[in-house]
């Protein structure tokens, strides 16, 4: 299990080259005249190669966790670590504040040709984001004690939020001719859904700790690389693309959710996460 301890470190460390390559892709991969992708741009392949290689590394590092699939949730993710609780609270507060700000932007921003149902969807998304932030904070507290049926439901709200997050992001970008500029972010959102799905699956299905670790690590690297690269490109001159405030906020919310996944990943891969051992009675001397 020793190599598994390197998984959280690798997931965070590989964000650094990911951010740099994403920034270079944004700066040099699109035509100044029409903002469309430039054919033959090498940076998109460098970034895709890095993400593919990191996924292979994560799969190898997460493989030993398959031994934990019959281990109770409390032994896999149960913790009273102050560091874990602090990370979960930070993630929850960021989502809570981000949800309120997204609601403000939705109400005050007028979008041309925006359908009424799309506006309603964004309002629902904002409310669920706020609720998800509250549930993340409550989940951190629940993981320090035996899980009950009520506390287990706390894992379902982040899953619902991640699905809405993907739906809203796709709805906002699917008809944009610059879809290629959003592709990495959309794939990161899919990984986010799968990570929260496997978190809930620990309590509501057949546990797959290795899959939880893998998708959490991929989500962390992809989400941070995407929004971090966009931010870095803005500092380096902005490139040719025009990023809306809502799009940037949704990317930031992905990273906020990944803070919780990173904390869960650290607990999952820590030294105490070992398979439960059966008690073998020994003969007592007469």
pLDDT tens digits for range 209-256: 999 999 999 999 999 999 998 888 888 876 556 778 888 899 999 999
Angle between helices 209-235 and 179-204 (to 10 degrees): 150
What is the reported pLDDT for 286?
41
Distance of CA 176 to CAs 96, 188, 211, Å? 29, 18, 32
**DSSP one-letter string for 201-263:** HHHHS---HHHHHHHHHHHHHHHHHHHHHHHHHHHTT--S----HHHHHHHHHHHHHHHHHHH
pLDDT tens for 180-200 read 677 888 999 999 999 999 999
Q: What is the pTM of this model?
A: 0.87
Query: What mean pLDDT is reported for the chain?
Result: 85
Place of tokens 């059966």: 278
What is the reported pLDDT for 271?
53
Burial of residue 162 (CB within 10 Å: 0-12, 13-18, 19+) is buried
Distance of CA 272 to CAs 4, 5, 123, Å? 12, 11, 42
pLDDT tens for 269-281 read 885 444 444 333 3
């Amino acid at each position: 299990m020793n190599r598994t301890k390197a998984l959280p470190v690798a997931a965070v460390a590989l964000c650094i080259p990911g951010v740099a390559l994403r920034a270079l892709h944004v700066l040099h991969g699109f035509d100044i005249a029409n903002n469309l992708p430039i054919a033959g741009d090498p940076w998109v392949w460098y970034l895709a190669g890095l993400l593919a290689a990191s996924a292979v590394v994560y799969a190898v590092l997460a493989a030993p966790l398959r031994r934990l699939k019959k281990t109770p949730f409390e032994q896999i993710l149960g913790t009273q670590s102050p560091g874990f609780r602090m990370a979960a609270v930070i993630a929850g507060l960021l989502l809570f504040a981000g949800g309120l700000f997204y609601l403000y932007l939705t109400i005050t921003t007028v979008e041309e040709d925006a359908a009424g149902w799309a506006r309603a969807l964004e309002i629902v998304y904002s409310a669920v984001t706020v609720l998800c932030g509250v549930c993340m904070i409550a989940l951190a507290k629940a993981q320090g004690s035996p899980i009950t049926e009520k506390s287990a439901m706390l894992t379902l709200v982040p899953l619902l939020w991640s699905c809405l997050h993907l739906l809203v992001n796709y709805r906002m970008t699917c008809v944009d001719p610059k879809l290629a500029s959003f592709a990495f972010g959309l794939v990161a959102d899919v990984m986010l859904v799968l990570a929260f799905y496997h978190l809930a699956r620990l309590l509501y299905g057949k546990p797959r700790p290795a899959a939880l670790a893998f998708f959490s690590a991929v989500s962390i690297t992809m989400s941070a690389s995407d929004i971090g690269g966009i931010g870095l490109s803005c500092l380096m001159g902005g490139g040719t693309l025009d990023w809306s405030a809502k799009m940037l906020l949704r990317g930031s919310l992905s990273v906020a959710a990944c803070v919780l996944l990173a904390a869960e990943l650290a607990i999952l891969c820590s030294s105490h996460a070992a398979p439960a051992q059966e008690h073998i009675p020994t003969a007592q001397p007469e």
